[in-house]
Amino acid sequence: KTTEDDVNILLAVYRVPEKGVDLVLTMNIPSQGSDIAESQRQLSEAKGVFDVAVKSLVIVNYDLFA
């Protein structure tokens, strides 16, 4: 591919002080080029999904962190 893509990146960082690590959750949303209205609609929808993921993330097994 020879053209650049615009991508929106959503990022959440969770501190896990008990293990001395940070957990990062990201979501990449590609832009739909010249269709600005469609890109904004998709970004808004993705933000809603991301918000649910951010609020519902639960660490079940802390042993995954060394």
Instruction: Please give the pLDDT value at position 1.
Output: 62
Cα angle 29, 30, 32; round to 5: 125
Instruction: Please give the pLDDT value at position 53.
Output: 97
Q: Give the tens place of pLDDT for each residue, 13-58.
A: 999 998 999 999 999 998 877 778 888 899 999 999 999 999 999 9
pLDDT surpassing 80 at residue 66: no
pTM, two decimal places:
0.80
pLDDT surpassing 90 at residue 3: no
